[in-house]
Amino acid sequence: METDWRKIGLKAGLECHQQLDTGKLFCRCPSILKEDKPDIKVKRYIRAAASELGEFDRAALEAVGKKRIFVYEGYNDVTCELEFDECPPKPAEPEALETILKVALMSKSKILDEMFVMRKSVADGSVVSSFQRTMLVALGGELELSNKRVGIQSLALEEDAARPVEKKAGEITYRLDRLGIPLIELATAPELFSPEEVRECAEKIGELFRRTCRAKRGLGTIRQDVNISIAKGARIEVKGVQELGLIDEYVRREAQRQIALVELKEEMLHRKITEKNFEEFDAADLSQIFSHSECKFLHGKSVFGIKLQKMQGLIGKELQPDRRFGTELASYVKARTGLHGIIHSDELPAYGISERELEQVKHKCDCIMNDAFVLVQAEREKAESALRVVVERCRQALLGVPEETRDALENGNTEYSRPLPGAARMYPETDLEPVKVEEKYLNELKKELPLSVAEREKLYREKGLSTNLVEGMRLSNFACFFEQLLQKGVNATTAATLLLEGLTQLRREGITNISNEMVEEILLAERKGEITKDVLLGALREWSKCHEKKLGGILKELKMGKVAAGDVRKIIADIIEKNKQLVDEKGMHAIGALMGDAMQQLRGKADGGEISRVLREELGKRAKK
């Protein structure tokens, strides 16, 4: 069934975060994620502190309500005192700044005269200092989609947060390698009106970032937040969509959820449910009923329940595929109290709970007619706070869609994570001067803006690259370097193959210290005819082991230098001489057998074509004798 998105008033905007492949933003650590054992571990407890403007943030308060311990893991080589909040920040990383300025120029954004570094409260523990630094760089601008233009609201440079590596009750472990990696944050205007438009826009933004040749690659290096609302719904921020291919599905399913919540509200109004129905709170102790239950997770445990007046059938209402209103209640309970799982009357009988127990619960909770109930398994205090969350969320359902932040789940669904952050989140960073960008510098940058994808395709084809190499190179991080090499006159196909395939092969072998200078020098040697293209990789491999040496020395050691044409002829004449019996028997047909020998002796010293030509000539001479 085709949904008419305009009719339901779908409106969406994107906020994209792209990690940059430069050093960290406010210290000089490298931006590298680590898998090995951390060198440093630190434990911290979070407590609420008002921002310097004296306000408390909604999201911050909710996080503090949960009483958590945070463990931070650091490394000697990729983290320093700054990640642990024990020294002042350094000025913004120049390459990162240059990259965002280029993005601003490419998207016609207005670059600010003065860029202030601000602190943004982060309450989930993912930043040791509890604030993330962010710097607004440009406002306005636009993106060209296939059939419209979408406004850009802002471009900011900010620090990435630490990444959670382990979550257990009351304790989260964060790894600090990611903390401080520069992110470009690009926010579009809410001008996207269908899931397909959102997807196209996200792709365009990704392309814009990748054209700079400084966007990190791989899962998790670009993260999208999507703001979605329908006319009768409310603004919902879906956070952390990592898979671009699913972004339209998140929009579709969020719109669907909002439509379902509006229907739920209408049905509640139809049933004459009002705020009054959620006023009294009387949790019933149901432990006795389940003392000998067949239900494994309630048997002999402390169980509490609450009645939800006239809500029968509504808790089971499907909001997204495989997600019911009951699932929604459960995720609120999880986010606010840490308690996993609720049981509601619309899904019973199930889990081994008997018909008889069900009747007893209804009686004990005072349920009549079309009342529903919710059960939780916990000690009284925790159970009561969980059930209060349930009642409160049901009361909110009377208003339709509550504004909130939701986490992207793997399958295109989302779950509640926290209220939308309030406006009190930002305050100035007092340790850093505002950044001023000179007009002259911007004019320089304008001259070296990355080519568009179409321009690249055209240039590369003209230089003779195959379709595959064009495809591989046009949005590769090597593209800018490749274009510099082209200007120096290297062979385009040889260079593209070395960059895209050769270096990947070397990385797979664990060789990561090949610099651009080395690549350039070896390609220039190939152009001058000092080395053949089939040994470029081998020479780089050897060079990487002792890259303080000069290329000439490496080639000499490896005997990889090209031999003079006369020497090629001499070596081939020797081969013919050694095999004269075969040559006398077979004449020109001996070429197949001798070519193998010749290639072996001359590999790297002469081109295959030249070897074959000389061999043919020498065989011809001999046959005439």
Stretch that binds Zn ion, among 73-81, 169-177, 222-230, 242-250 (CB under 5 A): 73-81
| Binding characters for Zn ion, 250-289, by CB under 5 A (x = yes) | ----------------------------------------
Q: Which is nearer to Zn ion, 82 or 259 (CB)?
A: 82
Stretch that binds Zn ion, among 40-48, 74-82, 530-538, 560-568 (CB under 5 A): 74-82
| Binding characters for Zn ion, 81-120, by CB under 5 A (x = yes) | -x--------------------------------------
Count of beta carbons in the 10 Å neighbourhood of residue 62: 16
Side-chain half-sphere of 337: how many Cα atoms within 13 Å? 24
Q: How far apart are CA 271 and CA 581, in angstroms?
A: 104
Q: In degrees to the nearest 10, what's the CA dihedral of 489, 471, 446, 110? A: -170
- What minimum distance in Å lies between the beta carbon of 51 and Zn ion? 25
- What minimum distance in Å lies between the beta carbon of 39 and Zn ion? 13
Q: Which is nearer to Zn ion, 80 or 519 (CB)?
A: 80
Q: Which is nearer to Zn ion, 27 or 138 (CB)?
A: 27
Contacts for 190-193: CB closer than 8 Å, 24+ residues apart: 190/11, 190/12, 190/13, 190/227, 190/229, 191/11, 191/13, 191/148, 191/150, 191/151, 192/11, 192/12, 192/13, 192/14, 192/150, 193/5, 193/6, 193/10, 193/11, 193/12
- What minimum distance in Å lies between the beta carbon of 89 and Zn ion? 9
Q: How far apart are CA 139 and CA 154, in angstroms?
A: 4
Q: Which is nearer to Zn ion, 129 or 287 (CB)?
A: 129
CB 317 within 8 A of CB 260: yes
Stretch that binds Zn ion, among 20-28, 228-236, 365-373, 449-457 (CB under 5 A): 20-28
Closest C-alpha among 235, 218, 216 to residue 226: 235
- What minimum distance in Å lies between the beta carbon of 84 and Zn ion? 9
Q: Does 29 bind Zn ion (CB under 5 A)?
A: yes
| Prior bond of 349 cis (ω within 30°) | yes
Out of 27, 330, 523, 615, name the contact with Zn ion by CB under 5 A: 27
- What minimum distance in Å lies between the beta carbon of 320 and Zn ion? 41
CB 160 within 8 A of CB 78: no
Q: How far apart are CA 356 and CA 127, in angstroms?
A: 51
| Binding characters for Zn ion, 586-625, by CB under 5 A (x = yes) | ----------------------------------------
Q: Could you say which DSSP state residue 20 is in?
A: B
Total residues contacting Zn ion by CB under 5 A comes to 4
Residues constituting the chain: 625
Q: Which is nearer to Zn ion, 27 or 590 (CB)?
A: 27
Q: Which is nearer to Zn ion, 12 or 27 (CB)?
A: 27
Q: How far apart are CA 357 and CA 160, in angstroms?
A: 51
Angle at 47 between CA 41 and CA 49, to 5 degrees: 125
Q: Which is nearer to Zn ion, 82 or 106 (CB)?
A: 82
Give residue for tokens 């966007």. 215
What Å distances lie between residue 404 and 138, 273, 332, 407, 422, CA to CA?
27, 23, 11, 10, 11
- What minimum distance in Å lies between the beta carbon of 23 and Zn ion? 9
Q: Does 391 bind Zn ion (CB under 5 A)?
A: no
Q: Which is nearer to Zn ion, 78 or 536 (CB)?
A: 78
- What minimum distance in Å lies between the beta carbon of 427 and Zn ion? 22
Q: Which is nearer to Zn ion, 82 or 115 (CB)?
A: 82
- What minimum distance in Å lies between the beta carbon of 208 and Zn ion? 28
Which tokens is 16 given?
């994209």
- What minimum distance in Å lies between the beta carbon of 223 and Zn ion? 21
Stretch that binds Zn ion, among 78-86, 100-108, 240-248, 349-357 (CB under 5 A): 78-86
CB 543 within 8 A of CB 556: no
Out of 16, 46, 63, 80, name the contact with Zn ion by CB under 5 A: 80
- What minimum distance in Å lies between the beta carbon of 214 and Zn ion? 19
CB 616 within 8 A of CB 608: no
Q: Which is nearer to Zn ion, 81 or 455 (CB)?
A: 81
Q: Which is nearer to Zn ion, 74 or 472 (CB)?
A: 74
Count of beta carbons in the 10 Å neighbourhood of residue 269: 11
The alpha carbon of 401 is separated from its chain's Cα centroid by a whole number of angstroms, namely 28
- What minimum distance in Å lies between the beta carbon of 80 and Zn ion? 3
Which residues from 499-558 bind Zn ion, rule CB under 5 A?
A: none
Q: Does 161 bind Zn ion (CB under 5 A)?
A: no
Q: Which is nearer to Zn ion, 83 or 225 (CB)?
A: 83
- Return residues touching Zn ion (CB under 5 A): 27, 29, 80, 82
